[in-house]
Structure formats: structure tokens, C-alpha cells
Structure 1
């Protein structure tokens, strides 16, 4: 991948951690000015150990996603963890603080490396790079899949997920014009510092607006929950002008059969297993419906 994989951290971060020799080598090579691109190795390795002990890799990927998501309950909500550099885009992972997007990306990334019999921080970074960036390649800030609608389509093309929204009863075409980033470029420090990137963002938005997209209006979510399953990725559509999605999370069907919303909650300031999906969205005025992507099983030899 076209990116630096150097990982820098403090001595306190290293105490008591089972850091691999390979990662230690990278730490030794890291320069003081390099951003910390992997945080939460202790949490990561704990999940890997539990997965190995319980042979989680044999479970369907959706169920595996749900189990990993539960392991992150209580992790603080922290926004902006991907904004490590104004000038150079780098891929990062942070299991010490998650927002709604990095939560589902991180959970799915860990699930995918477990399925591939991989277990190192660098493996997760590689998987996140593949999912988070257009065609799995980093060039600059614009190569990140900022809009969830594009994340869905790009990762469907990469056979990471299947966008099942159009197959849901009562799903309807989502023809909203997307242009929030280009019309609010001052709100993004990379675009404010590099105004030449705004034109590329606008091109990306125009391309996104040509894609046929669907959403399920919120009035139909309750009756459609029976069609959803643990591990499905939920993107909540919004009435905010120019924006396709305002929040994301995962489906989790509990032991009572309820389809609950597992997400990094800004309101509760941590990762939580929330109420039923339809109840959660019903209480949010600007949330208009959902788009749903289902993780695709991965070949262990891939």
C-alpha cells in the first residue's frame, strides 16, 4: 500500500503490552514527527486472543462482527481521530476512541483479518486502508471515502459488503443531491489548508450523484427489521441539506430477538448497545431512514 506504516507511541503505551518484534522494529524506526497511527494495541490483542480461544473465525461474518462490536462497548466516543495530518493522508486505527464511522470500520476490519487468520496491528491497518479509501489506495485527503453512500458502493465493488437496501420492502430511490463538503469546505481543515482539493471533492460528489441509490424511509423500519441481521451496517439518512448520512452503526439481534442498534453514540459519549433500531431512529427528527450494507463472507485463503 502507498502509505507509511511507522507507528509511534509513548513509553507508557508500551508498558505491559505484548508488542510483536515486527512492530517494535517499526517503533524503533519511527521519527518524533510521525503521527501515531495505531492506538489501542492492548484492546486489539485482547480481541484477537478471545477470537482464537473461541474459534470465532468459524462463525458467519455477520455474527463475528456482532461479537467484536460487543467487545468495544464502553470505548469513549472520540471524533476526528483520522485527521492526523493536514498535508499528508495516513491510515490509522484507534481502539481507544471511536466515532460512528471508525467504529463500524474497525469492527469489520478486525472481523475480516480474523477470517484470514491474521492477527497483527499492521494487518488491521492494511484492511482499513483497503476499505476506507477509494479502490483501496491512498493518494491524498480526497481518496478517503468521506460519504457513506460512496463507501457502500466502493466496498460493494471490492466485495467487502453488499448493499441490500434496494431489496428491502418499501425501499425507495434516494435522489438527494450530495454536496455538503464542497459547499462547507471551511469546516474541513484539510480543504481549508488546501483549497485546490475542493474541486476534486466536487467531482467526487457529482459522480456520487449519478449513482442509483436507495433508502428505507423511517416509517417502514419496524416492519422491515425481520429482514435484517446481526452485523448489518446501518447508515442513517438525514434531512440535512447536501449530506447523505448523519450517523452509522451496526445491527445486533439480542437473545430476546430484538434488533438493537450497536453504535458509537455522541449523545452517550461511548460505544453502546442501544434500543431497538426503529425506536432509536423514531426519536431523531432529522433522521429520515436507513441504508443497509451486509458484510460478505471472506475466503480464509484470500
Structure 2
């Protein structure tokens, strides 16, 4: 376990919301933000976001898996959380996408607010709770390219946040009708791999009512073949790992593919 230094850095957020906000960033996270930006983002080719995503995400390999790190609910005020000590599959993507666009730590905080929240408003009900929010809700993080990856994609209309019994996963959010495109897992083959690009954001589609995905990760082509870089909750992992892509998705309902803008 990492020893946490007592220093807490207070980052003032200006111009990101109606009122100035503050985020507490521990010294480990602050140091890592600065190192990644200086060593991976600034030297990177801005015309090739996929390579920057690959290099940034590599810095998180081995980071422990930690669920429920974000603070906020329908009854608890939302707080901007920035913590690299433990990640779940979605905060992993939040941090990678925000870092790859940043020039310094303050820029990262501003980008994270835009990445995580609809219209940059720090509020629980404004969180981009669903993977496909990234390609449909402002500020857009990515483009849905699922139908460009394979002609075998399936399109279905889902009422996100609406459970099969009529209840809501997130009370107060309401039902969001959205067309979802996914490639069935048994159709993900070498031809699909050829059309994927390193840095593509991958959502593992679910047939469950009210949800679009149950897991997320990043497609990375490595010397050992195609991988899904993901914050894994599996007991055998419990950290950010590279999982062989085809083996991982072949028995899943399918994949949704978003590409960074």
C-alpha cells in the first residue's frame, strides 16, 4: 500500500462552472499528473490521439482497482474527485482522456470537469453516467464509430436508466431513450481488429434493460497482440491490466466503440 504524504494540494477551478470549485489532490496524484503531462502528453503527436492515449494509459498499469471512488448521490452533494490511488473502469477512462488533452495540472482539472460532467456542471445528475454519454452529451469526448468497424453491428433503442421493473438505476435522472449500436461478441474477429485503432474506447455491451455497458476499457495493439487495457475488478486482477482482446470479448454480448475526437 502506498504511504500517503500529508500534503494536500488545493486546486482552484475557475471558469469551469457558475461558481469556483475546489478539488483536493493528494501529493501522489499531483506528482503523477505532472509527470504524465510532461513525459507522455507534451512530447506526443497531437494529430495521433490514439498513441497519446496508449502512452498515458500505460502509466496506470498495475494501479489498484477501487470501486465507488466518486462522491455524490441524489442526496449527497457532488464533489470533484481526483485520485489516482485506485481506479474503476470508468474513472480510468476519465483520467486518461482528460490527461491526454492537458498542458498542465490546472488544465487537467478543467478538462476532467468537461469529460466527466454534462456541460461541465459539477452535479451528480449531470455526471456522464453512461458510456454512450461520451458521444452524445456535451462536451463530447468521442465519436461512436461502431458502425464503421463492422457491418455486423446491431442497432437497438434502449431506455437508459429504466430498469425492467420500471424503476430507475439513478433516482431522479429519468429515462433516456437512445439508439445503441454494438458488434456482437461472436462477430469480433480479425477483420474487426484491423478496423480498430489503438486508443479506441471500448464498452462491453449489455442486454440488461436500462444500461448500455457493464465494463469499459481501451483497445491497445501491443507486441503481444491486441489488448483491452482496463481497470479489472476480477479477483485474479484487482488492478489495471492488459487483457487479450479477442479472448475477453468473444463470450460477451458485444462491444461499443468510441473514438477520441
Measured against the shorter chain, the TM-score band is 0.7 to 0.9
* SS, match of residue 174 in structure 1: strand
Equivalence for 1:12: 5
Deviations 1:262-290 (A, max 9, x none): 01000111001111x2210224xxx3101
Report if the CA contact (8 A) 1:152-1:163 is conserved: yes
Structure 2 vs 1, CA of residues 243 and 159 (structure 1 numbering), >3 Å: closer, same or farther?
A: closer
Pick 1 or 2: higher relative contact order, CA cutoff 8 A, min separation 6: 1
Deviations 1:218-246 (A, max 9, x none): 11112311100111000111133332110
Greater than 6 Å deviation, 4+ residue runs:
none
Alpha-carbon distance in 1 for matches of 2:134, 2:47: 25
| TM-score (structure 1 length as normaliser) | 0.72
User: Which of these residues, 86, 92, 106, is aligned with residue 97 of structure 1?
Assistant: 86
Report if the CA contact (8 A) 1:51-1:57 is conserved: no
* SS, match of residue 103 in structure 1: helix
Give 5+ residue unaligned stretches, structure 2: 13-20
- Aligned-residue Cα RMSD (Å) equals 2.7
Give 5+ residue unaligned stretches, structure 1: 1-9, 27-33, 186-190, 192-197, 297-302
Alpha-carbon distance in 1 for matches of 2:4, 2:246: 45
Alpha-carbon distance in 2 for matches of 1:25, 1:164: 35
Which has more radius of gyration? 1
Equivalence for 1:137: 121
* SS, match of residue 215 in structure 2: strand
| TM-score (structure 2 length as normaliser) | 0.82
Structure with a larger share of its residues in helix = 1
Equivalence for 2:258: 293
The size of the alignment, in residue pairs, is: 242
Alpha-carbon distance in 1 for matches of 2:133, 2:260: 16
Structure with a larger share of its residues in strand = 2
Greater shift, 229-238 or 58-67, is seen at 58-67
